[in-house]
Structure 1
């Protein structure tokens, strides 16, 4: 097996760690091994929330980049929770339910579950596999198909009752006690509230007992935690402290999750620990496993043909002839994402296998065929695939969304309970306008899971649905996808539809890409191209070609610039003057997209320039004024766009997707950004009449084909490209593909679902 993916994973984990900036006392010996050449890590997905640039120069980046949850910093929950808060609570319930299911299982431990036994046994298993020997049989076993598990919640009313018990902000006395400990260690007092929230009850005692627990606070780096530990422990502090190795192991896994991984190869993890000056990386991993901070897995290496011979002892034990076995890789991951990925695999296997072939109460095969006959091309092919399969994948561009919409309309006409879920409110509005789609059937994924939108749940707590179509499927992370699969009733059909060329999810995993590669269900490839010059340009980018296109109506305009200052000037000119005058699209319907928040022409600089031109004001409330365009990020990976309405003692009042939102004064800096300029991940799932993509000279290394594809496809009628990267743009389109992510979904699906011809 090539070691390149392992090195890339270690490098990406180190990159994400190096790009995090947080308050604290830096270590006297800076880490010289950090790298910063991970292009995708500079964009939003690697920031963990869809809005990070990795430069870590403001507190919002620090909080988001660590994947901070809404519960960690929010004050007491209001009576009516937002969709995001509701979804977070539902995710918490899902994880608790999975953990209970794991604990109740009897018999041998399956691969991918938490191992038992002593820490020495765990480490011996890891080392045995890495050395090419037979894995410890008692530690590693192939998984068995899981039975149908209970739905997330019994009914809509109990769901709302459970959500009302969302955790509140830490008590003031707890925050004060933590502040005292932080002051003793030379850490900023401003970390007191997030530290108390992250560590929970007894936070001050935890810090005194193990100062490296400070790494659990979003935005804190290893050298800062080291400085804090030295100040508290004095001569007792050393790089070989077991507590330090364990904490850094967990911290690196968190950084990997922010970069999209659900696990790390053990060799990549130990290499990253060595770069962090951990003297014995194996012992650090062993300690994290023994304490239950992380889990270990063994997965067969796909495509490998090198046999692993059985030991003499094993042959003597069962008398069998020597049999070659496929080599395996050892992965280390956090329990949260491991359980979610396993739950997703089990849920999808159930969806695939539970479809009733002869259901007299539903449409017959003739009914489905008659519905398909009313359509043509890949739309008819999609209907026929859904007729006979529980899970179907559909791929295509923006125009191809009409095909799953036609499926929903046909299924609704046959009397099926249908729902089409999108990544954003903008996508929901577009889905609701499709012919034949019931308006109430169009929802957002977050709203559906939270119970705020959609058909509600049946008596068993499952969605009251016969068919769920999810658009923007590449934006599904493993936790969200697991919740959807768990919530489907037996016999329901699931269609995942999306453009495989766009950026992956902001959260861990690559669900849609893994399912496409697994070939576990039918795949329908749309033959409906996106029209016009923009569609032609984006189609070329999708296959690695940056072509010149004819644009007689100025649908595509390239604006070359010499430096960042000129890029900013031309961008403001385009938004405020040129596009409204020449194209007829007003400034409020034109969106600026740039690779990152930092840099000479990142979102911060561009938003400041655009605010000065389009909505000048003193910014008395955290830099915001009524009328400002903003992005609200209440939790990692959840960005909604809106406008500032007013500010008062209660906080900053926003209107996001037509709904009022109040952000407390203490949360404005972490949760709200100006949004005249966005990053590509923030813009994913959204469309505007016009888009201006800004590529300053320092953005060349951040560009990849998926980034360019995503950014260039956000404009419906017009695209302006302010270009200062010269030949770096066509090179990125031709050569720089996705930064790979280490995931386990394909491996977990393999023993449960047979491959199908597609």
Structure 2
């Protein structure tokens, strides 16, 4: 491996494509923690978590802002959700910094029910239909013998999303939206679809009397009354009574931290509030697992949970875990004993109290346990599909042979390798077969070109695009190819695989070196590791200096590359303040002037939201330079570049057009109509988007990318992070480099088991298919 000395530029004699060197007395900044660093009062994450993971960027940031709220005496003002600003991938609310999801199901797209809400309702109905179809099939594949009846009853709720608090966002009078060119969606080419979506149900809104009852209890406990609507939505019609009986139910509201719930409980219970209260310990166990899900885990080692409980003054962590399991608050798994059949609940509660020296006992939440069990079941069903001679003559030959042999195939490769599964889809369509191509984002559709008929995974699942479904709720397809498969979280993947009918071939294609999904799970990585289906590795390398640099990073080498056209440029900086200054200079001046890439086609990528060179600081500086204004629309002005958390784990890029009584009007990529975000949801769902984190940028590419590596963010660097950030530029990559040798160390360090999941073990229990 060849590592660059600090400031050395591989392939370019200058540190900047066009700009003169920065004066030696460039702006400075203090070493604030970035990305994976938690706030001053936040405890360390449970053992087994990785502070550089999707949520590392999220959960730690949520902890930081929540701790600030606690210092101000306002429990729950900071919330654990984001995407642009919503909870990784499942949690929700306002004002926190977890990326990748929407706390309340996403903002509305115009009047009525939003597309995200329609998708969630359609998925609930679809899962019920799928379960009926599976029950009618003879001899289903045995899976999930460790789940309790309560978990099975919750199958239809795996995509439940909590409503968020209405932030204090007001818009001054604004002129009516000005007509602007609208993007026109390509005409659908898919075959006619069957009727899909049931009537859409609007998100639950608590009755005024329920909110009033909750507000009274909150006031009595000294908590902000502004939480009342969110608590009522989370706990239901009897929320006031439940909260009075169990004050720690306040932790069910995303963003509320244990110390805030403890203060609320002390105010209500007085001397009866003790650290070992079973109500408190049950709530803490669930909170720990929810927080772990923000970091990508679908389960946690019971020992790690006990250790985290001890850090929060629980006097008997063993008993606390046993009680949580016995009460059904969490599930316990002994995956090494899957073939021995289910155990009694009491036995499991006893067994989880202490380690037996064997493989670890895992604890998990119902929704992720159900998703992994369902996904393993569906993948096993497809993996056992027999040969299909219809694919024997298709192209490309190697991939077609694998598809002909088995119903489930994994295809790996970089950006250039996407052409291979695309060619397979075209060959299938040419042979008269029903084939669909799905991608992670609208940006991914654009990169395929206008001649390629593709849909997003979200549109395919919701029925907004694609082939439609048959009478059983399954896709009317013979072949489904999913690009950007590493971005599938476990819940989305479960819904997708369950929708693939018997006899259909499924190809999951993606780059195994990129960061995993913003949501919980490690679907693509677990499937690769389990080796239960054919794996076809592309031999097509990504072209140019950027492709060469990224290919080296993928195998742990930081190479010097020749870049005669300034395709790769390293910009050395001394501190975070200088990093912000040089980043603005690159985006606004150097890259457009030297390379001809417009400002709007250059994306800044950094390690986290917080810190002196995180997305907040960079977006503030970029807005000041590129679109200065007072932020009169809830912090935004017309022309601002934004990232909008449409739904959990799905972020759209757009531009602010205007605002009115309906909300903030956005022009978003791939949407022919403007998106309207209700003003009460702007704070929780919309962020400025000139700078993103690597997890927000995964699955998306731009003509030019600027990766920012300040010295105070080295703890958040990993090989996967570097690979993802550096591969986002199609034509050009600038690296604002202040991490010294930490960059080379991060690239050289082998990837570890960064997420705790059960999917690999479930898949490895599937018998290997017989090869021809």
TM-score range, shorter chain: 0.7 to 0.9
Matched-pair contact (CA < 8 Å) for 1:212–1:247: yes
Matched, 1:335 2:366: yes
Deviations 1:360-405 (A, max 9, x none): xxxx45xx34333xxxxxx321111111210000000011101111
Q: What's the offset of the Cα at 1:48?
A: 5.9
- Normalising by structure 1, report the TM-score: 0.80
Give, in whole Å, the separation in 1 of the partners of 2:37 and 2:622. Answer: 31
Structure with greater proportional helix content: 1
Matched, 1:347 2:378: yes
Q: What's the offset of the Cα at 1:202?
A: 1.3
Aligned to 1:730: 744
Deviations 1:623-677 (A, max 9, x none): 1011111000143312111111110111101111242211111110000000001
Matched-pair contact (CA < 8 Å) for 1:705–1:738: no
Give, in whole Å, the separation in 2 of the partners of 1:609 and 1:50. Answer: 23
Q: What's the offset of the Cα at 1:558?
A: 0.4
Aligned to 2:394: 371
Shift in alpha-carbon separation, 1:328–1:703, aligned structure 2, 3 A: closer
Alignment of 1:481-496 (within 5 A): 481-496=493-508
Matched-pair contact (CA < 8 Å) for 2:300–2:364: yes
Alignment of 1:239-258 (within 5 A): 239-258=275-294
Q: What's the offset of the Cα at 1:487?
A: 0.4
Aligned to 1:422: 439
Matched-pair contact (CA < 8 Å) for 1:49–1:638: no
Give, in whole Å, the separation in 2 of the partners of 1:495 and 1:156. Answer: 22
Matched, 1:529 2:527: no
Give, in whole Å, the separation in 2 of the partners of 1:605 and 1:20. Answer: 17
Matched-pair contact (CA < 8 Å) for 2:52–2:715: no
Shift in alpha-carbon separation, 1:103–1:277, aligned structure 2, 3 A: farther
Alignment of 1:172-187 (within 5 A): 172-187=208-223
Aligned to 1:271: 307
Aligned to 1:112: 146
Give, in whole Å, the separation in 1 of the partners of 2:46 and 2:325. Answer: 29
Matched-pair contact (CA < 8 Å) for 2:434–2:478: yes
Q: 1:711 aligns with which of 721, 725, 728?
A: 725
Aligned to 1:469: 481
Alignment of 1:572-651 (within 5 A): 572-651=584-663
Alignment of 1:670-709 (within 5 A): 670-709=684-723
Matched, 1:34 2:44: yes
Give, in whole Å, the separation in 1 of the partners of 2:417 and 2:426. Answer: 15
Give, in whole Å, the separation in 2 of the partners of 1:558 and 1:35. Answer: 34
Gaps of 5+ in 2: 1-33, 69-76, 93-101, 152-191, 339-355
Matched-pair contact (CA < 8 Å) for 2:609–2:615: yes
Alignment of 1:135-534 (within 5 A): 159-162=196-199, 164-300=200-336, 328-355=359-386, 357=387, 364-365=389-390, 368-372=391-395, 379-433=396-450, 437=452, 439=453, 442-534=454-546
Give, in whole Å, the separation in 2 of the partners of 1:60 and 1:116. Answer: 29
Provide the secondary structure at the position in 1 that maps to 2:394: helix
Matched, 1:84 2:116: yes
Matched-pair contact (CA < 8 Å) for 1:52–1:596: no
Give, in whole Å, the separation in 2 of the partners of 1:644 and 1:62. Answer: 21
Q: What's the offset of the Cα at 1:74?
A: 7.0
Provide the secondary structure at the position in 1 that maps to 2:558: coil
Give, in whole Å, the separation in 1 of the partners of 2:709 and 2:103. Answer: 36
Aligned to 2:163: none
Aligned to 1:746: 760
Provide the secondary structure at the position in 2 that maps to 1:618: coil
Provide the secondary structure at the position in 1 that maps to 2:507: strand
Deviations 1:179-199 (A, max 9, x none): 221111111222222212221
- Indicate the larger mover: 252-261 or 702-711: 252-261
Provide the secondary structure at the position in 2 that maps to 1:490: coil
Q: What's the offset of the Cα at 1:610?
A: 0.8
Matched-pair contact (CA < 8 Å) for 1:72–1:194: no
Q: Which protein has greater RCO, CA pairs closer than 8 Å, 6+ apart?
A: 2
Give, in whole Å, the separation in 1 of the partners of 2:36 and 2:513. Answer: 27
Q: What's the offset of the Cα at 1:72?
A: 4.1
